[in-house]
Amino acid sequence: MPVARLGLLPAVILGAALAFAGWSVGQGVERFRMADRTVTVKGLAEMDVKSDFAIWTLAFRRGGNAFDEVQRQLSADREQVVAFLAAQGFNPDEIETRPLQVQDLLAREWGNSNVALRFTGLGQVVVKTPRVDLVAKAANASDPLIQAGVQLDNQDGYGGPRYQLRGFNDVKPQLLEDATRNAREQAAKFAADAGATLGGLKNANQGVISVNSDDGGDMDSSRTIGKRLRVVSTFQFGLE
């Protein structure tokens, strides 16, 4: 073989390898191993689901210089909150009232003696229910409580309902099935293009299933009723 052709051969091989690498990345092919005739691909699947349980903590505060007065105000606030929830259609077994807490700021060992109000109190009423739509509706209709003088407190900076997907394990199989199908389609296309036949599944890694808000934003997914599940799984198929 002429010397010029010998020098050209490595360049041709390198160019072909780079071309295949670019194609495989675009097609979702992670690895192709000719030695053991396998191909590794990633399968992507997304699914929009609806939350099936809600927890809504309505916290309220009072402050004053008389212990009995603060406790009385908190008790009255709690009654108003419970009455509001009942009027919205919640059943007694969906409403949980928690003990009132009243703190003497002057009784704290390292407290500041220069306080405007000696006593501060907190009360909580918690709604726990699978009726997520009713919770969302009630949360948007809570203005009358504020107008009545109930000082609602956003303890975590949010204060709204938290929505959960307790039936996660019920939808998980379908999500993984979709990811497997997506990966197999990519692997089959690669095999056909390579003049091979796609063999059986040799190895699989489920990957992490993420739960996000369904609006595509960075918002905490617990704040939205709709959620988007997403998984990227890795599969290794044989080639024949």
What CATH number did the domain enclosing 188 receive? 3.30.110.170
Q: Are 228 and 212 in contact (CB under 8 A)?
A: yes
User: What's the token pair of residue 103?
Assistant: 């703190």
Out of 161, 182, 203, a domain closes at 161
**223: CB partners within 8 A, 6+ apart:** 158, 160, 161, 162, 163, 213
Q: How many domains are contained in the chain?
A: 2
Window from 80-94, 161-175, 207-221 with minimum mean pLDDT: 207-221
Out of 144, 161, 178, a domain closes at 161
Q: Judge whether 202 lies within some domain.
A: yes
Give the domain range for residue 62.
54-161
Asked if 145 and 188 sit in the same domain, the reply is: no
Q: Are 120 and 102 in contact (CB under 8 A)?
A: yes
Find the helix or strand (DSSP H, E) in which 32 lies: strand 29-33
Out of 117, 136, 161, a domain closes at 161
pLDDT in tens, 30-85: 555 555 689 999 999 999 999 999 999 999 999 999 999 999 999 999 999 999 99
Please give the pLDDT value at position 176: 95
Please give the pLDDT value at position 10: 43
Model confidence at 25: pLDDT above 60: no
Asked if 195 and 104 sit in the same domain, the reply is: no
Please give the pLDDT value at position 75: 97
The predicted model scores a pTM of 0.79
pLDDT in tens, 109-166: 676 677 889 999 999 999 999 999 999 999 999 999 999 999 998 866 677 999 999 9
Asked if 152 and 173 sit in the same domain, the reply is: no
Residues in the chain: 240
Asked if 62 and 93 sit in the same domain, the reply is: yes
pLDDT in tens, 160-197: 999 999 999 999 999 999 999 999 999 999 999 888 99
Asked if 228 and 133 sit in the same domain, the reply is: no
Q: Are 82 and 138 in contact (CB under 8 A)?
A: no
